Every structure is written in C-alpha cells, then in structure tokens.
Amino acid sequence: MIEVLDRRLLQPGHGAHGIVRLGQTFRIIDELGEQVFDFASFSLDDPHECADLVMSRVLLEKWKLEVNDQIVSSALRPMWTVIGDSTGVHEWSGGYCSRGLNRALGYEHDGCKEVMEQELTAAGLQASLLTSCSCLNSFMNIPYESSGRWKMRRPVSRAGDYLELRAEMDIFWIGAVCTMEEPANGWPLTPIACELRTPGSSAK
C-alpha cells in the first residue's frame, strides 16, 4: 500500500528542505506543467558529501537520465536510484540559476541558488555547501543538438508529470521552484509538489 509520509506544495520562488531515509522515495511532481524544480542532495551524516552529477554521468557514460540510473555522491557512493520518470527530460549536468545569471540575462531577481542557500541556512548549515555539481534541474529541457548547440527550450512536462528517486543512503535535500523566464519555464510560473513516500511506491 502506498503511503505518502510528507507532501509539500511549493510556489514559484520558494524553497524547502527535508530528509529522505535509506529506502524511502522522493517524488517531484510538476503540478500544472512546464515548471522546473532545482534540487541538491547531501549525505545526512556528512553534508560535505553531496551529489556529484558530473561523476554520475561519467560512470554511466551517458548524458540522458533514465529509470534505473544511479546518482552517486562526491565520495562516489550510490546516493539515489531513479525508479520513476514520466517525462524522461531533465537537465542534470549541474548548475542553477542565480542573481548573477539573471542579471547577465537582463533580469534583476534572485535565482534558485539564493533560495537553496537560504534553505541550508535555515537548517543550520553553511550556505557554501551548495555546489553546482550537486544540483539537478528536474523538468528542464536543454536538448543536445548535432550541430553542437545546447539551447534551452520550454519544458515538455505536463500536469502531474513526475520524477521519483529512491534514497540509497540517508539524505538531506534542498530545493527551489525555478523563476527563470521563458523558455526555461512556461508562463505563468506554477507550483511544484514534493512527496516523501514509503519504499516501493513508485508504480502509481
């Protein structure tokens, strides 16, 4: 029987943090579609050990994240396993929007970097623990083109689409609902739901 232990509904520009225990699952749900959610992960025992998306791609020898793939930590230990994905389109080379990036693009507002740093501080941790290689941009759509271009496009996610990960260690996570302008997100910006679930609950 599926049991949702915790559910957060987050509005654009807002963040959250939480804990996922070994064997539990973390489901990110695009409530209305075309909305990116950035999140970063850390070992609960040692937050200096974080998700390393760069080394995960090296070990998997692929750029496309798929079901059954593992994300490893900076210590090269299994951290997450993808157990459900209804879109198959996410950007996981690392990185996040920030006030600096937004300014370079002609906008003046905080990005996911600042929101996630606030979540680290709220949890009593140092904001400097956040690194670009630890951040997965769920539902972000930046296809790799044969021409060599890597141009951002609108997300393909629709209402109710999700990405679900199983924790392979006790994990502390932080996340932010992205506020980048089109085409990074659809318009208007919409909420993201995060669910903590019991093991084996990814089928429905």
Q: Give pLDDT tens digits for 13-23.
A: 999 999 999 99
Q: What percent of the chain has pLDDT over 90?
A: 86
Confidence category of residue 57, pLDDT binned at 50, 70, 90: very high
Q: 3-class SS at 103?
A: helix
pLDDT at residue 47 above 50?
Answer: yes
pTM for the full predicted model = 0.94
Q: What percent of the chain has pLDDT over 70?
A: 98
Q: Identify the helix (H) or strand (E) that includes residue 104.
A: helix 99-104
Distance CA 110, CA 6 (A): 27
Spell out where the chain has E strands. 4-10, 15-20, 25-30, 37-43, 70-72, 78-85, 135-138, 161-167, 171-177, 192-197
**Mean pLDDT throughout 12-38?**
98
Which of 9, 65, 16 lies closest to 32 in space, CA to CA? 9
Do the beta carbons of residue 40 and residue 48 sit within 8 Å? no
Based on the number of CB atoms within 10 Å of its own CB, is 46 exposed (0-12), middle (13-18) or buried (19 or more)?
exposed
Torsion, CA 154, CA 60, CA 128, CA 169, rounded to 10:
110
Distance CA 138, CA 76 (A): 21
Distance CA 83, CA 131 (A): 25
**What's residue 8's pLDDT?**
97
pLDDT digits (tens, 9 = 90+) for 151-196: 999 999 999 999 999 999 999 999 999 999 999 999 999 999 999 9
- What the block records as the tokens of 155 is 């997300």
**What's residue 203's pLDDT?**
47
